[in-house]
């Protein structure tokens, strides 16, 4: 009896294992920090490149030769490659799988629609199928999280809840819409780690450089597009919470506040004492072939069922991003002034 | 008559700039090739994968934002070798005179882990690109010359020296995929008269080499060991023997192949072979260190199937193209060590100032 109790106790204490695709992205890095802090062992699937692509998780990475206790491990795979997915699930034996990987830029999806669909739509299917066949073969239980997107709502007017009909307006959004009834979020998280091609980060990055004199102009598209922007660090907690429920379900994750790109400019430039109108020019190349005018989420279900709520509001988020990008620009200025770098280069 | 003579002497017709399309432009070879082509007056277009991470480090010094200069002669476009329509799309828009297919999942050891992906990009990807070129030329009536990046890995287990007529014996999914791509290229040349060449390049290195490749892995670690940021370096088979040249020399051979009257296949190599152990001797010795004190063998780095010995016979390239390597083994090693020592010193500066953890790489 004592030994059974011991076994039960050690089973409880066994570290949970998570598998994260898209671990090199914004959400992947915040989710990894969150899961490690909760005592998970985190495995990530990354694409292979001859370029360094783990910048966002490098501060977490420990070389396997340095510490057997390294709790984050990376493996090569690709969402377009079904066998790589099955291989790693069999080896890693995760308790939870978070599918965050994607070709995640809406504008780019108009240029490479086939690739986007193959990774975002069919890739999700491949991963689901790999999980399914693994669980059937092994008898194990695996919980699966699918990263949805508010872009799926597209042209449907706000506020948008779980039951709001989809009306995707890009190959990216259409691919995200091809989901198969697994827990997912629809969210628009941003942060200082956001990719620099996404408008919020594009703005704060340019603003920092403008402030220190490395740049004068910023070219944008549709300033009237309206979005519900939240902090990625808050949103990954919602992802995790979804997988801790008794029942699998779908949830909208949002701040329930909507702002235009122009408002983002007002707040961010204003915070540094600048007038955005002096620096912003409109360039038609940044207009979408079909636009999503207005996204504003209704997150009441997440609030009631998960007990989730956002901690970082719009203004605080903008300031967080501006602060970090100003620091980054100052560092660039030091290198430029010392002759190590050209003004237009980004390190 | 005078006006006619004047007209011909002061002709306004300029030779139009040649246009090149380069896949794999973000890689080592892509960056050196781009510099070479720009120096020859080309307009260079590159296809890059989309990532939320910055992936154009090697060509950033060349990149000019389109808003800054209408004269930007290097332009980047999103595509993927797994996506046929993206390839055809850019060919139609860019209308290149020359296409250099350098893109690949290029790491041999990794190809054992992701063989399907490797084959899809390296083998089928080459086919997609050839087909896109073929149909573009058929539709437009334009002439396009095509360069396929082959690899000495295709020779694999066949003993050296290896020339264009040596039989292939690939020893990895990477190598087998390169063999397929090689034959697709030959087939398109023979079936459609496409000016398509295979460059069978033996290993070529540089300070821009990816850090997972053994030469750069060594020099990068050596620099950090020298400044005290690291103590050990873990390697696999030290007896593997390779013909290592300088990538900057090799891209010139690629270009030369496309300037010939006839399309053909060429081996490019230094014709000298060295073991990984010799690379360690020269590199560590250059900084006054004994590699035996810092290197440990880790079995995880051994290949499931090894290629023991590669040594190229580049006589055809020398005779027909007039190409020869300028940077020899020792000079190559020193070049790489010098740059990686600089990088390590810069890291040390940041570590000492508290900006960075010792094990981080900026």
Give exposure, A171-193, as e/b (b: 16+ Cβ within 10 Å).
Answer: bbbbbbbebeebbbbbbbbbbbb
Cβ B359–A80 below 8 Å, yes or no? no
Substitution target from A46, A55, A65, A112 for chain B, most B beta carbons within 10 A: A112
pLDDT recorded at residue B351: 82
Report the C-alpha gap between B209 and B217 in whole angstroms.
9
Q: What are phi and psi of B188, to 5 degrees?
A: -70, -30
Residue in chain A lying closest to B61 (CA): A345
Residues of A in contact with B212 (CB under 8 A): 50
Asked about B206 being catalytic, the answer comes back as: no
Residues of B in contact with A58 (CB under 8 A): 360-361
B98 within 8 A of B21, measured Cβ to Cβ = yes
Kindly provide the ipTM of the predicted complex, given to two decimals.
0.85
Q: What percent of chain B has pLDDT above 90?
A: 87
Residues of B in contact with A109 (CB under 8 A): none
Query: CB atoms < 10 A from the CB of B137, how many?
Result: 18
Cβ A59–B114 below 8 Å, yes or no? no
Say which of B32, B146, B174, B188 is annotated catalytic.
B174
Within 13 Å, how many C-alpha atoms sit on residue A335's CB side? 16
pLDDT in tens, B205-249: 999 999 999 999 999 999 999 999 999 999 999 999 999 999 999
pLDDT recorded at residue B64: 75
Q: What average pLDDT does chain B have? A: 93
Cβ B83–A112 below 8 Å, yes or no? yes
Cα angle A267-A271-A275, degrees, rounded to a multiple of 5: 75
pLDDT recorded at residue B349: 85
Nearest-CA distance from B319 to chain A in Å?
33
Cβ A83–B54 below 8 Å, yes or no? no
For the record, the structure tokens of A267 come out as 């707040």
Asked about B100 being catalytic, the answer comes back as: no
Strand spans (E) along B192-273: 195-201, 204-205, 233-235, 241-242, 245-246, 266-268
DSSP state of A342: -
Report the C-alpha gap between A76 and B174 in whole angstroms.
15
Residue in chain B lying closest to A57 (CA): B360
Quote the pTM value.
0.90
B198 within 8 A of B182, measured Cβ to Cβ = yes
Report the C-alpha gap between B222 and B214 in whole angstroms.
12
Residues of A in contact with B356 (CB under 8 A): none
Asked about B151 being catalytic, the answer comes back as: yes
Report the C-alpha gap between B126 and B184 in whole angstroms.
8
pLDDT in tens, B26-72: 999 999 999 999 999 999 999 999 999 999 999 998 887 777 666 67
Nearest-CA distance from A244 to chain B in Å?
29
Report the C-alpha gap between A309 and A311 in whole angstroms.
6
For the record, the structure tokens of A147 come out as 């990263």
What is the sign, positive or negative, of the torsion defined by CA atoms of A47, A48, A51, A57?
A: positive
What is the mean pLDDT of each successive set of 10 residues along chain A, which is 347 residues long?
A: 50 85 97 96 96 92 72 95 97 98 94 94 95 96 94 90 89 82 66 93 97 95 96 96 95 95 98 98 94 93 96 96 95 80 56
Query: CB atoms < 10 A from the CB of A302, how many?
Result: 25
Cβ B86–A114 below 8 Å, yes or no? yes
Residue in chain B lying closest to A118 (CA): B83
Substitution target from A48, A50, A118 for chain B, most B beta carbons within 10 A: A50
B171 within 8 A of B307, measured Cβ to Cβ = yes
């Amino acid at each position: 009896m004592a030994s059974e109790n011991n076994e039960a106790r050690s089973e409880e204490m066994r570290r949970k294992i998570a598998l994260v695709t898209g671990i090199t992205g914004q959400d992947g890095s915040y989710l990894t920090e969150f899961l490690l802090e909760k005592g998970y062992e985190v495995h990530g699937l990354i694409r292979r490149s001859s370029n360094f692509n783990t910048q966002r998780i490098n501060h977490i990475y420990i070389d396997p030769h340095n510490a057997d206790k390294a709790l984050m491990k990376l493996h090569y795979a690709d969402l377009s490659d079904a066998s790589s997915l099955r291989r790693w699930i069999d080896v890693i034996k995760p308790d939870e799988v978070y599918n965050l990987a994607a070709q995640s830029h809406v504008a780019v999806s108009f240029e490479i629609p086939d690739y986007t669909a193959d990774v975002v739509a069919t890739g999700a299917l491949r991963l689901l199928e790999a999980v399914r066949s693994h669980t059937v073969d092994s008898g194990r239980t695996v919980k699966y999280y699918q990263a949805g997107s508010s872009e799926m709502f597209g042209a449907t007017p706000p506020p948008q809840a779980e039951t709001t009909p989809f009306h995707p307006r890009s190959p990216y959004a259409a691919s995200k819409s091809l989901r198969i009834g697994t827990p997912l979020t629809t969210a628009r998280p941003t942060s200082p780690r956001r990719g620099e091609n996404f408008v919020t980060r594009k703005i704060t990055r340019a603003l920092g450089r403008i402030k220190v004199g490395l740049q004068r102009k910023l070219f944008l598209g549709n300033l009237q597009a309206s979005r519900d922007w939240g902090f990625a660090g808050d949103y990954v907690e919602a992802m995790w919470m979804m997988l801790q429920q008794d029942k699998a379900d779908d949830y909208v994750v949002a701040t329930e506040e909507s702002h235009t790109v122009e408002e983002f400019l007002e707040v961010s430039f204003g915070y540094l004492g600048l007038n955005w109108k002096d620096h912003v020019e409109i360039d038609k190349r940044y207009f979408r072939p079909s636009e999503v005018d207005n996204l504003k989420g209704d997150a009441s279900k997440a609030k009631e069922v998960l007990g989730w709520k956002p901690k970082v509001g719009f203004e605080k988020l903008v300031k967080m991003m501006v602060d970090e990008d100003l620091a980054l620009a100052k560092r660039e200025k030091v290198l430029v002034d010392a002759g190590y770098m050209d003004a237009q280069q980004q390190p």
